[in-house]
Amino acid sequence: MAETLPTLLLVDDEAHSLNAMRMALEDEFDCLTAPDAGAAARLMEEHDVQVIFCDQRMPGRSGVEFLTEMRDRWPEAVRIIITGFTETNDMIAAINEAGIYQFVTKPWHPDHLLMTAKNAADLFRLNREHARMSLEMRYLARNVETRLEEQRRALREGLGFENVLRASNSPLNAVIAQARQYASFDVPVLLTGEAGTGKAALARAMHYGSLRADRPFQEIDCTGVDDDILEIELFGARRGAVAGLQTAKIGLVQKADRGTLFLNGLAGLSPRMQLALLRVARDGAFRPLGGHEMQRVDLRLLGGADRDLRAEVAEGRFRADLYHALARTTLEVPPLRARPGDLGVLAQSLLLEAAAAHGKPVHGLSEDAIRFLAGYDWPGNLRELENEVTRMLIFSQDAVLGPELISRHILQAVPGERCDPALDAVLTGRGPLKDRVEEVEARILRETLTRLKWNKSRAAEELGLSRVGLRAKIDRYGIDAPGRQSQTEEE
Domains belonging to the chain, first-starting first, are 7-134 (3.40.50.2300), 159-334 (3.40.50.300), 338-477 (1.10.8.60)
Contacts of 298 (CB under 8 A, 6+ apart): 257, 258, 284
pLDDT means per 10 residues, the chain with 491 residues, are 79 91 91 91 90 88 86 88 71 70 85 91 87 66 55 54 79 90 92 92 90 90 91 88 77 93 93 94 91 90 93 93 93 90 88 89 86 86 92 89 84 55 54 70 76 77 76 77 48 38
Return d(Cα 190, Cα 329) in angstroms, integer.
Answer: 6
Question: Which pLDDT score is estimated for 487?
Answer: 43
Contacts of 179 (CB under 8 A, 6+ apart): 161, 189, 202, 205, 206, 209, 331
Strand, coil or helix: what is 51? Answer: strand
Return d(Cα 214, Cα 154) in angstroms, integer.
Answer: 10
Question: Which pLDDT score is estimated for 468?
Answer: 73
Question: Which pLDDT score is estimated for 461?
Answer: 79
Q: How remote is the C-alpha of 181 from its chain's centroid?
A: 24
Contacts of 9 (CB under 8 A, 6+ apart): 32, 33, 34, 40, 43, 44, 47, 49, 51, 52, 53, 54
| Of 94, 78, 83, nearest in space to 17 by CA | 83
Question: Which pLDDT score is estimated for 480?
Answer: 77
Contacts of 487 (CB under 8 A, 6+ apart): 453, 454, 455
- Bridge partners of 190? 303, 330
Strand, coil or helix: what is 286? Answer: strand
Question: Which pLDDT score is estimated for 18?
Answer: 92
Return d(Cα 368, Cα 364) in angstroms, integer.
Answer: 12
